[in-house]
Chains A and B, each alone.
Chain A
Amino acid sequence: MNNDTSNLVNDLLSILQPDAAEQVEKKEKEPKAPKKTKEEPLPEDKVVKVSAPKAPAKIAAKETFLAGIDETMKSVDFAKVVIRKDLYEVFMSIKRAKQVKSVSTLLDHALEDYIKRNSQSIKQLLNESNKKSIL
């Protein structure tokens, strides 16, 4: 590597690395957690039995996940620009029916389903999505 390339690399690293350095420093400054002492068992009469919450941990996690996707969709302007309203509805129905990991995967599913359902040519779809933004 010649000088100007090394200079650029050094400049970039000096911009990007302080974070890492800061984090290391922060971690170093964090007080260490006190060592756990062995807990003495409570006497039998002081033990309060708590029943485990029924089922919904999983459901709640799913709702949180879906809410996260809704939130992401709100913030992703370009997804809104590209997806036509009807396509968005397909998207939402897929979102409800399938558990998928990312918005882009959902977008792929939605586009595929839309094409299957409407049997439009791909070219038309692209033309339409290019012309309109509907949400």
Chain B
Amino acid sequence: MEIVFGNQKGGVGKTSLSILFANYLVEQGRKVIMIEMDIQQSITSTRGKEMEMNPTNLPPKPYEIIYTKLSDYPRIAEKLKSTDINVIIDLPGKLDDPHLVPVLKNADVIVCPFEYDMRSFISTGTFASVTKKLDPNKQIIFIPNRIKVMNYELKEQVHEALGQYGVVTDPISDRAAVKRLSTFSITEEQKNIVGKVFDFIIAQSKI
């Protein structure tokens, strides 16, 4: 199963949530591989730093992280399609690259974090609209992320508009614990913050 974390907008939490989600799935005994397609390679460098800082006491790697360029995706698409392992793909925050098309088309589910600000919302709407044009049946799950207060002026409008393209989960609040990331495990505190939303994604996408 290919679970793609994407949005045209950068900085909405795609990478952080993809790491947390991978850790969460592994903790539930599921098999996971992480494919990183963002040229920044934040996930690979997070793993690298962890291994450098603590070379002897780390547990075995819970999943492998593979970096590849978007343009290389077609070469591995068949392998990814034919496996029952959960493949989590972290996309770069852009929409101006035609190489995104096969990745979005092959995704079993697209997880799209966003924030309740105007720019993030417009970018998210555009991303969703494009994705639905590529495949009207594509399942998109929107996560309101880094939420600071409960009542946003635009909240209802945003949910209604994005509801045309997919389902909107409960929000994930802006907490320091979510930012302290490890590619080896998820903490209890992190699980308390993201667990409900992740359980929803797992149930919706039948992982």
Is the A/B pair a real complex?
yes
Determine whether A126 belongs to the interface, using a CB cutoff of 8 Å to chain B: yes
The smallest beta-carbon distance between A28 and chain B, in angstroms, is 23
For the complex, give the distance between the alpha carbons of A107 and B60 in Å: 43
Determine whether B160 belongs to the interface, using a CB cutoff of 8 Å to chain A: yes
Q: For residue B66, which residues in chain A have a CB less than 8 angstroms away from its CB?
A: 9, 12-13, 16
Q: For residue B126, which residues in chain A have a CB less than 8 angstroms away from its CB?
A: 82, 107, 111, 129
| A78-B79 contact given A4-B31, A111-B126, A122-B157, CB 8 Å threshold | no
Q: Is the CB of A78 within 8 A of B95?
A: yes
Stretch from A40-48, A53-61, A69-77 at the B interface: A69-77
Determine whether B196 belongs to the interface, using a CB cutoff of 8 Å to chain A: no
Q: For residue A111, which residues in chain B have a CB less than 8 angstroms away from its CB?
A: 122-123, 126
Chain B residue at minimum C-beta to C-beta distance from A76: B96
Determine whether A120 belongs to the interface, using a CB cutoff of 8 Å to chain B: no
Determine whether B27 belongs to the interface, using a CB cutoff of 8 Å to chain A: no
| A5-B31 contact given A72-B96, A102-B94, A123-B161, CB 8 Å threshold | yes
Q: Which interface residue of A12, A81, A108, A112 has the most chain B CB atoms within 10 A?
A: A12
Q: Is the CB of A103 within 8 A of B96?
A: yes
- Total contacting residues, chain B, CB less than 8 A: 44
Chain A residue at minimum C-beta to C-beta distance from B101: A78
Interface residues of A in 111-129 (CB under 8 A from B): 111-112, 115, 121-123, 126-127, 129
Determine whether A89 belongs to the interface, using a CB cutoff of 8 Å to chain B: no
Chain B residue at minimum C-beta to C-beta distance from A109: B119
Cross-chain contact of B161 among A4, A13, A72, A122 (Cβ < 8 A): A122
Determine whether A79 belongs to the interface, using a CB cutoff of 8 Å to chain B: yes
Determine whether A1 belongs to the interface, using a CB cutoff of 8 Å to chain B: yes
Chain A residue at minimum C-beta to C-beta distance from B104: A78
Q: Is the CB of A104 within 8 A of B96?
A: yes
Q: Is the CB of A2 within 8 A of B33?
A: no
The smallest beta-carbon distance between A88 and chain B, in angstroms, is 13
Q: Which residues of B contact A (CB under 8 A)?
A: 8-9, 31-33, 35, 60-64, 66, 68, 72, 75-76, 79-80, 83, 85, 93-98, 101, 118-119, 121-123, 125-126, 129-130, 132-134, 154, 157, 160-161, 164
Can you sample 29 A-B contacts with CB below 8 Å?
A1-B62, A4-B85, A5-B63, A8-B33, A12-B76, A75-B98, A76-B97, A76-B98, A78-B95, A79-B96, A81-B133, A82-B126, A103-B96, A104-B95, A107-B95, A108-B9, A108-B119, A111-B122, A111-B123, A115-B122, A122-B118, A122-B121, A122-B122, A122-B125, A122-B154, A123-B160, A126-B161, A127-B164, A130-B164
